[in-house]
Structure 1
């Protein structure tokens, strides 16, 4: 008896005893057709089934999620009968399983009209239909009469937008209905995988509905503001309409429809601001659904519209929630390189300011005065009279041009928000290896009055001949190389360069005092280690660390990772934080578990990192050696950040005992990670330019600082301090010294700033006034 036959008996006969090797089966030898038949049997296994049967069911379902089962005609019919059984026994069944079986049927399609009719009649008796698209497709299999009954029921009391949607779906062929059923959502908090949206975005009838629906929604909010429809807080749209509008918006965003920006300017204020002074919203639920759609398929225009609304909404709790959601939107926009770099000019010109390189400038008259908005590192608003700069807003301007002052201040906020979005998008290109036409890049990025401040401080590679890439830093090289407009240009990455070239770029940035918008030349790179080649599908590089959990959880969210909150409750003991890279083709999972309380703080323990590749719409775990080097390096860089910033080893004030103290002592002064090595390289270039250079040396893992009272060793990873000669620990709680910000750093790094702050303090240790520090130094000396 083969493996498939043994497993089939185990799923159908509770008394059947499996051999030991079958209790945790490897289903790779099972054919796709056999897997389809097994999945039908597994679907009939109930929650009260014996443990052995349930274990096989889970193994089959797991294999089916990673493969595409195929179904014989008999298995297709059996799947529909299993759905009927599930509805009758448990009150619900996943109709898309039946439609999927028909789609992948290996023979003539069987007659499933009778079970289909039973399924539709069952659902039409319910108050809520959880899969309306799939139900319409199943109703079509049961015959015209059943389809008409389903349309009538689904269109009842749902509003004109949903009724239009139901009519569109009902008019499609069964194959087209099956394609659209992929975006069926039981609730709006879960979004289907990208392939389902792409199929829907290619369907003309649904695309046309999407525009009608969104314009109808904007018309309704216009009518509420005009008083034509009575205002009721959060009642502008029904729950079902919000779900349908969210689906319509995702399709339009995926297609990047040109009519969307104008619609955002109408719809978002309409759902976020009451027509009265009330602090409520016409539809808080739809506002959040729009942001969730932006998390799936963001555009710069939608991100800007959300940020604009965030500043004007009156409800106290909404801005805070939007801020949380926008972090994921920014990360998603960075992955969508085809639209992420689109930036409006907003009336700005390119002009020199005070002898500096050309920047983006906008000038507006205000009586005898002139407003100047200049974009250098960020956008700033200043005022002039007769060409002379003024310190603040002139009194006549405040009095006579109130609207202009408000408009320009809002413009500054909007430009700065766009610069943040652009920075995230550019950095996100590190994993997708985004390539742009040289002519477009020259005018729309390097020459753009707003974007140029960021773009010119980054290193780019231009393909001057086939396969020949030339690296250039526009801020330092005023003459860009000659290349045709259709030549390729991409962001430079140290992973693709020789070590000598990387060192040269780092030297140039330091010498020219060019601060990059994100860490590029000094960017850490992570290569596969021999240990990871041995473990094959997982990395333990950042495992077994103890971290401040709340701090790490905040970092996960800030970097666009998805993770459930952990804690001492059922199901809260462990999670896999995850993030997609390379335009959604790769997923990295970072395992961690809740550990314990430490006073009022929570601790977590870190574990493995694994990678998955999207194959035929499903995630499939992939050996580390098969992960693209850029994806691997950027993902591990994130995990290094999480551990490095939140580890208790970086807490100078840690005093708890037990295993945590043992970990702290072992890790606080351990070998340097890649991020700490990059810090060391930056210090090697910065130190000779500082007034304390003669008191500092770099020695392995430490910055050695010679004070008058003692000599100190600052660890380049944790920033913790040991005192010579016996390595006594010196506790200094982080506090920035006045003037520390004047030290040039080629990139933003809080730990590097902290190390330099401590170095300045300890180099002048005779001037320290803090008694708690002095007592420790004198005791160590």
Structure 2
């Protein structure tokens, strides 16, 4: 990128943004690095940037403006607008939403010229003022008392049957400026939501709105109690106005985000009584509130709210409402697993059962990739001494961390005695912190020692821990933000999307699957846009990592990704690839360097489409049968064995779908001899023979290594 001093850079950018159309439309110009700009300098460019963004006739200026905006977002650099630049920008605004965004960049007092421009944007008092009352309120603060009074009249008239809206409107004056801006600039609404645009994020730190939230939820809960007791006549879907529902839901999201101790009994009343009629009718007092609360619990789950959602599902009689709430339960449980420090409160309040054990296992498993510690007293109360948590406490390996930085892994006996890896009693200090042990949190000797202990005592772990697959980035990729180990597989799209949705991956139409692990986002790229219902195949690409900053995602080098996060991300991707892969990219040459004949692109595409439609489980079974036949002598002699998805030679395992080689969970890089153990091509089998040959070559190499 060009290296210019900040003043020269401002002048240079101003010229390029304001220049007439270039001689050739393909000429865009050299990229520019804006990291040296100050907010004021970016603000001086802001009017020209906005004009260029709206000038498609000049692609060079438009692309430069787009690049500047994208860089500013990544750098979290906001323009600082003075009266002159703000006025110039407001003249280009066509809506209140745009005006609110630009006013956030100005901290001064309004001028008469600014007020006149805002009057133009708002227009005459109308129902639109009331419909967007958060935006209108922020804009009206820059205007005269007459405009503010007109807004109050509009809100009173439009929301005559929405008391909760009117109460929130009266509260706006007491809120912090950033809270009003968050409400005005957000496009969040129940049902179509993006947590990044949720105003509850800012409002959760505003004391006035937090107090209002508790008050409004108490009022709503009391109304539902009155309906169910008969004090208020029951009318189907008549408990609350549809205008009031978003206000109540916003209050619930704030309380959930703060994990307010007063919320659980209120949520139990609000959800269960909103979705069930006080009579035997299959209607509900407020479908809109029940659906909104279901979304709230899905987005920001707590143990108590998830229990409430499950209870409500057992009571609701309205078929459509039950269907909608059912969709919230699984994502809520997955989301709860992302908050293990509060999720473990679930154990003491739950009765043992298959569903509760599965949910607790998910919560604990997330502690393998994100920082998670409990005090000794909380660990004993929530796990060791609870009926649901005790089996986990006594079968998993734990780590005791003390204030001096010392750590020691241990296993509990049936009488709750802690033993270290040598079988010696380990006293637990009252002030120590307890976390889950991960294979990468210790060296190879300790991993093998714990594997021997678990095997010798025949302990069945509720989640894979000591024999857990673990991955480490190779040295040559540490300076890169992408990982190539899972690139080059042909994936069947239908099972890929199905598994990805169940596992909590976000499916992007830009051709990627992404998932957040703590503050790290992992993305598996593919070569086609993905969406539910798509058929056929796609080719896997690089795996990329990014870290969440305050507002944006920044690429992060592999060396800076926590080792346990990297390992668990790769393990999750390995599952996707293992289930949906049916082929690997054809080899262009043998291991000895001899070129191989290649199929034409058309024939190859036809063949891959045909393979992508096959049952992948059956393909794995067929591959297993072929290998059973090929290595029958070795299997009979006990030199190798087969299980559902692996060929095992001693401590080594070769995956039947991906060909990945592992030893006690850790990946192994195994060089293959030229054409060792090559099988005859089998084009009539429903899978790619190249992958079968790779697996067979690997097994032969392992047998040769072990002297067989």
TM value normalised by structure 1: 0.69
Match of 1:98 in 2: 102
Q: 1:575 — aligned with what?
A: 511
Q: Does residue 300 of structure 2 align to residue 297 of structure 1?
A: yes
Change (3 A) 1:276 1:82: farther
Q: What residue is the counterpart of 2:444 in the other structure? A: 499
Report the Cα distance in structure 1 between the residues aligned to 2:84 and 2:155, rounded to whole angstroms: 26
Alignment of structure 1 residues 313-328 onto 2, 5 Å:
313-328=316-331
What aligned pairs does 1:566-605 form with structure 2 within 5 A after superposition? 572=509, 574-582=510-518, 585-594=519-528, 601-605=535-539
Residue in 2 aligned with 1:171?
A: 174
3-state secondary structure, aligned to 1:489: strand
Aligned to 2:466: 521
Q: Per-residue deviation at 1:498?
A: 0.7
Given that 1:537 and 1:610 are in contact with CA atoms closer than 8 Å, whether structure 2 keeps it comes out as yes
Following superposition, the deviation at residue 33 of structure 1 comes to: 3.0
Residues 595 and 157 (structure 1 numbering): CA distance in 2 closer, same or farther, change over 3 Å?
closer
Distance 1:475 1:198 in 2: 44
- Quick check: 1:116–1:138 contact (8 Å CA) kept in 2? no
Q: Distance in 2 between matches of 1:176 and 1:57?
A: 29
Distance in 1, Cα, partners of 2:478 & 2:609: 26
Paired residue for 2:13?
7
Structure 2 residue matching 1:470: 3-state secondary structure: strand
Q: Residue by residue, what CA displacement relative to the aligned partner does 1:29-60 show, whole Å, maximum 9, x if unpaired?
A: 44443333334433343275533333223212
Preserved contact between residue 214 and residue 251 of structure 2 (Cα < 8 Å): yes
- Structure 2 distance, partners of 1:520, 1:42, is 53
CA RMSD of aligned residues (A): 4.0
1:200-599 maps to which residues of 2 (within 5 A)? 200-226=203-229, 233-234=236-237, 236-343=239-346, 345=348, 375=352, 379=353, 416-463=354-401, 466-475=404-413, 478-480=416-418, 481-533=426-478, 536-564=480-508, 572=509, 574-582=510-518, 585-594=519-528
Is the CA contact (8 Å cut-off) linking 2:490 and 2:537 kept in structure 1?
Answer: yes
* Structure 2 runs not aligned, ≥5 long: 1-6, 419-425, 585-601, 615-634, 660-676, 688-694, 696-708
Cross-structure match for 1:354: none
When the two structures are superposed, what TM-score results if normalisation uses the length of structure 2? Answer: 0.76
SS in structure 1 at match of 2:428: coil
The structure-2 alpha-carbon separation of the partners of 1:24 and 1:347, relative to structure 1 and needing over 3 Å to count, comes to closer
Do the aligned partners of residues 648 and 725 (structure 1) sit closer, same or farther apart at CA in structure 2, a change above 3 Å counting?
Answer: closer
Q: Once the 2 structures are TM-superposed, how far is the Cα of residue 67 of structure 1 from its aligned partner?
A: 2.6
Pairwise CA distance, 1:487: 0.9
State the Cα distance separating 1:647 from its structure 2 match.
1.4
Aligned residue-pair number: 611
Please, which of 547, 552, 569 is the counterpart of residue 613 of structure 1? 547
Q: What's the counterpart of residue 35 of structure 2?
A: 28
Higher alpha-carbon deviation: 516-525 or 23-32: 23-32
Distance 1:448 1:664 in 2: 52
Question: Deviation of residue 101 (structure 1)?
Answer: 0.4
Aligned partners of 1:173, 1:464: CA distance in 2, in Å?
A: 41
DSSP 3-state at the match of 1:127: helix
CA distance in 2: counterparts of 1:184 and 1:702, whole angstroms: 49
Measured against aligned partners, the alpha-carbon deviations of 1:523-569 in whole angstroms (never above 9, x if no partner) come to 222212245336x12223222322222222222222222224xxxxx
**Alpha-carbon shift at residue 471 of structure 1 (Å):** 1.0
Q: Does 1:697 align with 2:703?
A: no
Preserved contact between residue 328 and residue 561 of structure 1 (Cα < 8 Å): no
- Structure 2 residue 61 is matched with structure 1 residue 53: yes
Q: CA deviation at 1:636?
A: 2.0
Mark the runs of 5 or more structure 1 residues left unpaired by the alignment. Answer: 349-374, 380-415, 565-571, 651-655, 669-691, 706-712, 735-754, 756-781
CA 1:97–1:603 in structure 2 vs 1: closer, same or farther (change >3 Å)? same
Deviation at 1:204, TM superposition (A): 1.5
Q: How far is the alpha carbon of 1:733 from its aligned partner? A: 10
- The more displaced of 475-484 and 288-297 is 475-484
Shift of 1:185: 2.8
User: Structure 1: how far apart are the matches of 2:350 and 2:339?
Assistant: 26
Residues 1:111 and 2:111 are matched in the alignment: yes
- Determine the structure 2 residue equivalent to 1:568: none
Distance 1:14 1:417, change over 3 A: farther
- Write 1 or 2 for the structure with the bigger share of strand: 1
Give 1:716 deviation, angstroms: 2.7
Residue 764 of structure 1 corresponds to none
